[in-house]
């Protein structure tokens, strides 16, 4: 009953030998190729960064490695043997442990019980020997340099300590490979330091650590090698020290520095004549762990881009403006008058409309028809005495289906059955029917096919020309640069740069994103703790 990996089972593999290797791994979902011939290798005794933007395929890869998904083709070799895991449990029993961002333990049970669930030491009557269990749990955690009262319910511990318990469990079940999915996203700097200490210890014991994060600083601090995924393919793999920040960002985003680019790849026409007083002013929005005094302004007819990597606070900014997340401080003004924060209906009444990033879970109502989805938000205005005015709805639905070129077999088709692009257009129609003043578009073209993408981009352009203020969030650099008149760059929940006019180029944007944080970040109290992962990671 010891936490050390050299307990029963095989001896730890020699440093540097492949612990987990996949070759030509392919996995597709209906309508999308998530992994395309991916080769990946994590070696014993190294920390391997796995990075990529949303939809790059890293989540899918992890899920295949841990038995959640089954690959369509390709091979997985674990400690030299070919394996195929049918369930997460099989993978875990074999020695691949995963530490999720949302800690996957039982919060109401004590630390020790969590550590030993299913492996509790028992006395000769078959009853659990709590004394032995507590001692062993204490030892296992001390081993990782963590001191907590193991008899306390897990949930009373901080997130960092909970993660340590998850790690201790992983190690004590004899893990050879530990996969960590954004482990630091809700940790305080001090906890991050402890975690890194433990990761180094694991590495020294010959365990392969696969580390997923979007924080560049962390990657360079803790990782030995890196694999970059983009659009389901491996675009780079090698030692992380050989790769500078800018190069890493450009690999992730798929844009080359100084690349000669043909103009007009997107359907954006270019600059809009933005004029007049700002239609949207967000001032000093602060949200614990997520946003730190973020301010953004949008004028009528202007498209303002929100740049930054995944997890930088882009979606949170949009949600805070739209009333879906209640900010602790800060104000939101529309056309000069203040809007009550933390209330979606208030924001909508003021003329703010949000197209959420997670279209399927937060946007569409999948079981209702196209017609009802379009009319949903505007219903009170389309009703008299609580009765729905069907003919007015028909008129509006017809107008928007035509104007936005929504392709459905009829207005009565369920939205859940439409393609992603058409779903997005239905959502746009829902908000345009409200005649908003400000549109917040969070990844409006993600996961929709090329043709529909161009159409949506063109629509955004037209809307801005009609005088709407648009806030555009996109991981697609090209879309962001060509679509926006101005780009505000976020990093770890704070505005770090703003590009205007001629500065709005991919090169400058990438440099702004890759720039290290100001020196004071990462130590001492009162520094911005990192933001949480954005909702709906692929």
Among 139, 143, 221, 362, binds other proteins (CB under 8 A): 362
Q: Is 526 in the site for other proteins (CB under 8 A)?
A: no
Total residues contacting other proteins by CB under 8 A comes to 70
Q: Is 151 in the site for other proteins (CB under 8 A)?
A: yes
Distance from C-alpha of 103 to C-alpha of 285, rounded to nearest angstrom: 28
Check: CB of residue 312 under 8 Å from CB of residue 303.
no
Q: Is 525 in the site for other proteins (CB under 8 A)?
A: no
Q: Is 224 in the site for other proteins (CB under 8 A)?
A: no
55 contact partners, CB below 8 Å, separation of at least 6: 231, 446, 447, 475, 538
Binding flags for other proteins, 175-214, as an x/- string (CB under 8 A): ----------------x--x--------------------
Among 7, 14, 89, 241, binds other proteins (CB under 8 A): 89
Q: Is 345 in the site for other proteins (CB under 8 A)?
A: yes
Q: Least distance in Å: CB of 162 to other proteins?
A: 9
Nearer to other proteins, 216 or 393 (CB): 393
Check: CB of residue 146 under 8 Å from CB of residue 195.
no
Check: CB of residue 44 under 8 Å from CB of residue 222.
no
431 contact partners, CB below 8 Å, separation of at least 6: 353, 354, 355, 377, 439
Torsion angles phi and psi, residue 99, rounded to 5: -105, 110
Nearer to other proteins, 138 or 182 (CB): 138
Distance from C-alpha of 44 to C-alpha of 19, rounded to nearest angstrom: 5
Two structure tokens written together for 488: 């505000």
Of 425, 427, 413, residue with least CA distance to 361: 427
Q: Is 386 in the site for other proteins (CB under 8 A)?
A: yes
Q: Least distance in Å: CB of 122 to other proteins?
A: 7
294 contact partners, CB below 8 Å, separation of at least 6: 282, 284, 285, 286, 313, 317, 320, 330, 490, 493, 494, 495
Check: CB of residue 487 under 8 Å from CB of residue 509.
yes
Two structure tokens written together for 297: 């302004």
Nearer to other proteins, 313 or 356 (CB): 356
Q: Is 9 in the site for other proteins (CB under 8 A)?
A: no
Site for other proteins in 11-30 (CB under 8 A): 30
Check: CB of residue 509 under 8 Å from CB of residue 528.
no
How do strand 438-442 and strand 469-473 relate by DSSP bridges? parallel
Q: Least distance in Å: CB of 466 to other proteins?
A: 22
Among 75, 84, 152, 395, binds other proteins (CB under 8 A): 152
Among 3, 79, 157, 167, binds other proteins (CB under 8 A): 157
Among 138, 174, 181, 479, binds other proteins (CB under 8 A): 138
Distance from C-alpha of 497 to C-alpha of 490, rounded to nearest angstrom: 7
Nearer to other proteins, 386 or 501 (CB): 386
Applying CB under 8 A, the residues found at the interface with other proteins are 30, 88-89, 92-93, 104-110, 113, 117-118, 120, 122, 126-128, 130, 138, 146-153, 155-158, 160-161, 164, 169, 191, 194, 322, 324, 344-345, 347-349, 354, 356, 361-368, 372, 375-377, 379-380, 383, 386-388, 390, 416, 430
């Amino acid at each position: 009953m010891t936490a050390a990996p050299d307990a029963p089972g095989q001896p730890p593999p020699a440093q540097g030998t492949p612990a987990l290797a996949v070759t030509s791994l392919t996995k597709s979902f209906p309508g999308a190729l998530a992994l395309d011939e991916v080769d990946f290798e994590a070696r014993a005794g190294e920390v391997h960064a796995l990075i990529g933007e949303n939809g790059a395929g890293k989540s899918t890869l992890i899920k295949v490695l841990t038995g959640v998904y089954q690959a369509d083709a390709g091979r997985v070799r674990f400690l030299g043997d070919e394996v195929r895991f049918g369930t997460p449990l099989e993978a875990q029993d074999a020695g691949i442990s995963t530490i999720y961002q949302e800690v996957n333990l039982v919060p109401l049970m004590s630390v020790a019980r969590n550590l030993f669930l299913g492996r509790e030491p028992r006395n000769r009557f078959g009853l659990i020997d709590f004394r032995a269990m507590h001692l062993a749990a204490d030892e296992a955690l001390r081993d990782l340099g963590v001191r907590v009262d193991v008899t306390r319910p897990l949930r009373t511990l901080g997130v960092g300590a909970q993660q340590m318990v998850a790690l201790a469990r992983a190690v004590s079940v004899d893990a050879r490979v530990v996969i960590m999915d954004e482990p630091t996203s809700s940790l305080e700097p001090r906890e991050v330091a402890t975690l890194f200490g433990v990761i180094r210890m694991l590495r020294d014991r010959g365990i392969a650590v696969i580390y997923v994060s979007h924080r560049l600083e962390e990657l360079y601090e803790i990782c030995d090698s890196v694999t970059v995924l983009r659009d389901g393919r491996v675009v780079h793999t090698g030692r992380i020290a050989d790769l500078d920040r800018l190069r890493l960002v450009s690999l992730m985003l798929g844009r080359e520095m100084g690349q000669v680019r043909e103009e007009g790849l997107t359907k954006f026409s270019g600059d809009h004549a933005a004029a007049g007083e700002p239609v949207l002013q967000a001032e000093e929005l602060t949200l614990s762990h997520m946003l730190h005094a973020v301010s953004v302004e949008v004028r009528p007819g202007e498209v303002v881009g929100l740049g930054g990597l995944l997890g930088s606070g882009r979606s949170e900014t949009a949600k805070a403006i739209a009333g879906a997340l209640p900010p602790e401080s800060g104000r939101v003004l529309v056309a000069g008058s203040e809007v009550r924060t933390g209330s979606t209906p208030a924001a909508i009444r003021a003329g703010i409309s949000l197209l959420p990033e997670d279209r399927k879970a937060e946007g569409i109502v999948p079981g209702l028809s196209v017609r009802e989805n379009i009319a949903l938000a505007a219903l009170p205005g389309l009703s008299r005495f609580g009765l729905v005015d069907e003919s007015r709805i028909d008129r509006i639905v017809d107008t928007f289906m035509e104007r936005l070129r929504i392709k459905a077999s009829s207005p009565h088709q369920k939205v859940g059955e439409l393609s992603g692009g058409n779903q997005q257009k239905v959502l746009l129609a829902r908000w345009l029917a409200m005649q908003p003043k400000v549109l917040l578009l969070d990844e409006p073209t993600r996961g929709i096919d090329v043709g529909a993408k161009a159409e949506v981009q063109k629509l955004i352009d037209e809307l801005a020309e009609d005088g709407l203020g648009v806030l555009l969030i996109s991981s697609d650099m090209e879309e962001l640069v060509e679509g926006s008149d101005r780009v505000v760059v976020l990093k770890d929940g704070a505005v770090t740069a703003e590009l205007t006019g001629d500065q709005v180029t991919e090169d400058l944007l990438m440099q702004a994103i890759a720039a290290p944080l100001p020196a004071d970040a990462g130590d001492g109290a009162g520094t911005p703790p990192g933001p949480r992962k954005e909702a709906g990671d692929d």
